[in-house]
Amino acid sequence: MQLYLRKTPINLNRFKYKVNQSFFKYWNSQMAYILGFTFADGNIHYSTLAWDLKDDIELLKKINKAMKSNYPIKKRKNSFRLRISNPTTFQDIQKLGIIPNKSKTCQFPNVPEVFFRDFIRGFLDGDGWISTRKKKMEISVGFSNGSYKFLEELTKKLNKFLSLTTNNLRTKKKITKKGKISVAYQIEWYGLNAFKIIKFLYDDLRKNDLFLQRKYKKQIEAKGIYEEISSGGKKYRDIENKYKIPIQELLQKLLVGKKYTGVEIAQKLGVHSSSVYRWLEKTKVRMPAKRGSELWIKRVKNNDVKTC
On the question of pLDDT at 300 being above 50, the answer is no
- CB 82, CB 44: distance < 8 Å: no
Distance between CA 226 and CA 179 in Å, rounded? 41
Nearest residue to 251 via CA among 288, 212, 222, 224: 288
**Final residue of a structural domain among 229, 251, 267:** 229
Q: Which residues contact 194 (CB under 8 A, 6 or more apart)?
A: 130, 139, 140, 141, 222, 226
Pairwise CA distance, residues 166 & 187, whole Å = 10
Structural domain boundaries enclosing 27: 12-100
Query: 191-233: per-residue pLDDT in tens?
Result: 889 999 999 999 999 989 999 999 999 999 999 888 776 655 5
pTM for the model stands at 0.72
Q: For residue 1, is it within any domain?
A: no
Q: Are residues 271 and 256 in the same domain?
A: yes
Tell me: the pLDDT tens digits for 264-284?
A: 888 888 877 767 877 787 777
For residue 27, give the nearest of 119, 127, 106, 105 by alpha carbon: 119
Which among 30, 65, 100 is the end of a domain? Answer: 100
pLDDT tens figures, 19-36: 999 999 999 999 999 999
List residues bridging with 145 in a β-sheet. Answer: 185
| Same-domain status, 154 and 206 | yes
Question: Do 173 and 256 have their domain in common?
Answer: no
User: How many domains would you assign to the chain?
Assistant: 3
Does residue 111 sit within a domain?
Answer: no
